[in-house]
Amino acid sequence: MTKGVLETIDPALELEEAEAGTTGKIHCANCIHCKLVPSPAQGSGRYYLRVRCDAGKWRKKLGEEKIYKYFTVVRRAIDSCDAYEDMGEEKDFIRDLKRSLPDRDEIYTAD
């Protein structure tokens, strides 16, 4: 089979590569600039957890800062970043993060 311009991507293979650390990409969640921040929710004293890039690398087309949901940031991987500073062994960190993150958006209350 020859490879064409468009290739079929196997999601299972992509996940295996990410877990094995063989994708050649860096995971933003493993960067020191990846910060957890509260984002207001409806109601007094309630908030969602969101993640932003403290180095300002996550921008929308019009320049506005992009903020990700806490439980989806583990999937954000890029080829390169000039501000990337890893926080340790990526493979173990990403595996543990996938196990510990909630699988849906949760509302928290301020104590």
Q: How far apart are the first and last CA of the chain?
A: 60
**What pLDDT does residue 7 have?**
38
Joined together, the tokens standing for residue 81 give 């970043």
Nearest to 34 by CA among 102, 108, 88: 88
Instruction: Classify the C-alpha dihedral 10-98-65-107 as positive or negative.
Output: positive
pTM to 2 decimals? 0.68
Q: Is the pLDDT of residue 4 over 90?
A: no
Amino acid symbol at 11? P
Distance CA 92, CA 17 (A): 13
Amino acid symbol at 101? L
Residues near 41 by beta carbon (within 8 Å), at least 6 away in sequence: 47, 48, 107
Q: Read off the pLDDT of residues 75-111 as tens digits, 9 standing for 90 and up.
A: 888 999 999 998 888 888 888 888 888 778 888 887 6
